[in-house]
Amino acid sequence: MDIPKGNTKTLAGIQREGYRARPRFGRLDEGLDRVEEGVLRSREYILSLQHPDGYWCSELEADPMLEADYIFGHLFLGTGDPERLRRALNEIMRYQNEDGGWSIYPGGPSNISLSVKCYFACKLMGWSRDEPSLVKARGWILANGGVTACNTFTKIYLCVMGQYDYDAVPAIPPEIVLFPNWFYFNLYEISSWSRGMLVPLSIAYAKKPFKKIPAGQGIDELFVGGRESANLHLHWNKQKIFSWRNFFLFCDRMTHWFERIHIRPLRKIALKKAEKWMVARFEKSDGLAAIFPAILNSIIALRCLGYSVDDPQVIRAMDEFERLGIDAPHGTPDYPVPTFRMQPCVSPVWDTAQALFALGEAGVSADDPRMIQAADWMLTKEVRDKGDWAVKAPNTEPGGWYFEFNNEFYPDVDDSAMVLLALNKVNSPRERYQYESAQRAIAWIFAMQCKNGGWASFDKDNTKMIFQYIPFADHNAMLDPPTVDITGRVLEMLANYGYTRKDKRVEKAIQFIYKEQEADGSWFGRWGVNYLYGTFLVLRGLEAMGVDNHEPQVQQAAEWIRMVQNPDGGWGESCESYDDPITRGVGVSTPSQTAWALLGLLAAGDTRSDSVAKGIRWLLDNQNEDGSWSETQYTGTGFPRVFYLGYQYYRYYFPLVALTTYKRAMEAENQAA
């Protein structure tokens, strides 16, 4: 196949390419004019990206799994534009690694589940197993365990196409929706995104759909020793006979046994309730949970339940699914090959809040019409209906915001806190309405505080670690525990609205943060890569709440940030730090992570160190003429160790906030002197 290849997002490629260097200069303390120039150019660039309706929304990048699943989904359903499917395959092949596999983040090692999916997508599109790219891919896959080493979600998709045995995958029975909320193992004790993926997947598991494909499109060659001789079943923990893993494996085998002998007395009731649960969450939403895997699974579930392709529910779900796509039939400037790529979701509320906050910090007037328009747009996205969160907080009035254009069932604490920070930068003509929206959101956020004092994203006290031993929980995302990064942002927001450490809820959150600090002074970042992200948000929150920057926790964190600075003056951290904490703070310098490090140091009271001066210089030296920055690495986190994100606008608004914060600190010191 005549398709240009090569992983354009590899770490090696970034190191070869480098960033455009500009003439060096001395300390910045006496040269704030250049900082001011950088701030103004950055402001204008971000404003130029604003949508006519008032919001910002960047492309959200992810690994080629999305395009592989897009091909799988359409070929299973018998739908899709053949030319678009070919363009999706071009996008997949764009990122094949030299060793033959595919990575879940730029520069990362090849991943077995992703590589099997990409290989299968090629076969489904008619490629021969003798294609050189597939020969190379097959060699890597077999050397790394073959198909049986994949995760559960991959195996179930393979079952649908007859490439794996349903009896050999972990059972996902729809009866899980029947467990009452007071029962220890109920649906709402797992994360919101897992609910959105698993409920429709349980319908598919119960119905066990099967799509017969031509023999040449199968992947029997990816089983080590051949499919007939492969041991498809899960392995028991022989070291600990009496363990939770073995208990759940026993339950799984019993479930399969009941399936085989057709003892399923509650199956019809369970399927009806699962269907009702799923369809209800289509309302006021950009598809189920407004995320790619849940939407795709819901389409498959609808078809399994007998919905026709021209049923309004299926058409609507398909429309939401296709809306996540970005078509480039003529290629792009950096890759002149026709491609089609999918986004895991869209991020308008998040991007708008971040951009508005950055612009407000950078001095754009609170009365600027563009700021007011953005604030008005965000206010239209306030949640006014109860969603899944209300199971754990039943007596709370709805409030807050979600991440996407529409996702009423799933507001999240992180977005809500960020929107509140942004709204505080605007003088809205609808002052009373904005005030009431903010107060509802703050009350909702307090109601979502977990028992240990921290905040999670979508749920409250979603912390039962036992769920990680369930056989189908190998996507590493079954729980939504409280995290320090979200808690730090909430503290910064609350301080902006007049809350102090005198509030017991605030003090409890600070103590949670202290308990979570690593031995080297850093904090883990759940929703951004990684320790740089967690540490900067914690330090911002502590500073906002008036914690003395001479406190040992603060100074130890600042020293860690200085310690991991790169020789070029910037900071960077690879997604590898989730797999190997020893590599925390290690990676190629990026604009977003350099900004995070600087914001952490400035929050800790460090304004005059060489580390800060070099970091500011790095941002200015690497700013493009139009006021933007370039960044190829992924610095956003979906599921640690499983799924990562590239937010295109992170490289813009975080550096702007860092430059502005530095400039303000220098001016304050100069005035004091």
At 233, which CATH number? 1.50.10.20
**How many Å apart are CA 356 and CA 370, to the nearest integer?**
9
Type of residue at 272? K
Cβ distance 522 to 531 under 8 Å? yes
pLDDT at 6 (0 to 100):
39
pLDDT at 368 (0 to 100):
97
Q: For residue 562, report the phi and psi dihedrals to the nearest 5 degrees.
A: -65, -35
pLDDT at 671 (0 to 100):
82
CA distances from 131 to 2, 499, 593 (A): 11, 63, 40
CA distances from 252 to 85, 247, 256, 471, 472 (A): 36, 9, 6, 8, 10
Rounded-to-10 torsion of CA 293, 210, 82, 322: -20
Average pLDDT along the chain, 673 residues, taken 10 residues at a time: 38 35 44 93 98 97 98 95 97 97 97 98 96 98 95 93 91 92 86 95 95 93 83 63 74 79 89 97 97 97 96 97 96 90 98 98 97 97 97 96 97 98 94 96 98 97 86 80 98 98 98 98 97 98 97 98 98 97 96 98 96 97 97 96 96 98 92 76
Residue 401 lies in a domain: no
pLDDT at 262 (0 to 100):
82
- Count: domains in the chain: 2
Residue 453 lies in a domain: no
pLDDT at 238 (0 to 100):
64
**How many Å apart are CA 226 and CA 526, to the nearest integer?**
39
pLDDT at 229 (0 to 100):
65
**Tokens 């999670």 sit at which residue?**
456
pLDDT at 233 (0 to 100):
61
**How many Å apart are CA 368 and CA 210, to the nearest integer?**
57
Residue 575 lies in a domain: yes
Cβ distance 105 to 644 under 8 Å? yes
Residue 18 lies in a domain: no
Mark which of 284, 314, 342 sits at the end of a domain: 342
Q: Which domain holds residue 281?
A: 63-342
Mark which of 319, 342, 365 sits at the end of a domain: 342
Residue 419 lies in a domain: no
Residue 242 lies in a domain: yes
Question: Angle at which helices 82-93 and 65-77 pack, to 10 degrees?
Answer: 150
Residue 626 known to be catalytic: no
The token pair that represents 95 in the structure block:
């990122």
pLDDT at 13 (0 to 100):
37
Cβ distance 462 to 191 under 8 Å? yes
Mark which of 342, 377, 401 sits at the end of a domain: 342
Residue 410 lies in a domain: no
- Helix locations, 424-525, DSSP H: 431-447, 484-496, 504-516
pLDDT at 25 (0 to 100):
40
**How many Å apart are CA 658 and CA 282, to the nearest integer?**
39
Identified catalytic residue from 412, 414, 480, 606: 414
Secondary structure letter of residue 405 according to DSSP: S
**How many Å apart are CA 89 and CA 81, to the nearest integer?**
12
CA distances from 94 to 6, 10, 53, 138, 545 (A): 6, 11, 34, 17, 47
Distance, CA of 50 to chain centre = 23
Cβ distance 318 to 70 under 8 Å? no
Give the length of the chain.
673
Residue 80 lies in a domain: yes
